[in-house]
Amino acid sequence: MIKSRRVFVVDDDSSARNWLARLLRTAGHYVRAFASAEEFLDDFDPETFGCLVLDARMPGMSGGELLASLKARGVQLPIIVVSADDDPETGRTAHRMNATAFFRKPVDGLALLDAIDWAVRRNFANGSAEEIESNESSEKKLKNPVGGHHENAP
């Protein structure tokens, strides 16, 4: 059984990013929030298990480009895509990139939490993850556990 989950939030909209981080922390997740795909890639360790909640459209590297980059690196991270755009192509792109789920903003918090739980359990059952025992042991896997441009779990 998974005792806690690490969730990476990548969203250029600070209010959406902060809301998602608060929601996820309240639900007991360890959250790392980033304002851009590039910031996430600079800090992300491919050996770290977690779930990625990703905005589809951002300045610079888009969510789709980040998904392609992770796939090219062989990263098997459950990914949930969110988007403010009511554009069918965004959902199709997420599906083609094997995103676990796609939500339109504003996101239903309970549905998102259920999707994260399902995605992590599915990935764990497939042997792609190790159980996270505590905040201390999970934070050791991060390259920059304190400071930087992203928010850290308390």
Residue 69 lies in a domain: yes
Q: Can you give the pLDDT at residue 21?
A: 97
pLDDT of residue 71: 85
User: Could you read off the pLDDT of 94-138 as tens digits, one per residue?
Assistant: 888 788 899 999 999 999 999 999 888 877 666 544 444 333 344
Mean pLDDT in residue range 30-51: 93
121 CB burial (10 A radius; 0-12, 13-18, 19+): middle
The more confidently predicted of residues 142 and 125 is 125
Instruction: Report if residue 86 sits inside a domain.
Output: yes
Question: Residue 145: inside a domain, yes or no?
Answer: no
CA distance 30 to 138: 9
Tell me the per-residue pLDDT of 6-17, one tens digit each, with 9 for 90 and over: 999 999 999 999
In a domain, 14, yes or no: yes
* Residue 150 within any structural domain of the chain: no
* Count of the separate structural domains present in the chain: 1
Whether 64 maps to a domain, the answer reads yes
* Stronger pLDDT, 86 or 56, i.e. the higher one: 56
Confidence of residue 49 (pLDDT cuts 50, 70, 90): confident
pLDDT at site 46: 85
Is 119 domain-assigned?
yes
CATH code of the domain in which 31 resides? 3.40.50.2300
Task: Say how far apart CA 91 and CA 1 lie, in whole Å.
Answer: 31
Distance CA 38, CA 43 (A): 9
Rounded CA separation 67/79 (Å) = 8
Phi, psi of 84 (to 5 degrees): -80, -15
pLDDT at residue number 146 = 30
The residue range of the domain holding 104 is: 6-139
pLDDT in tens, 87-100: 888 888 888 878 88
**pLDDT given for residue 125 in this prediction:** 63
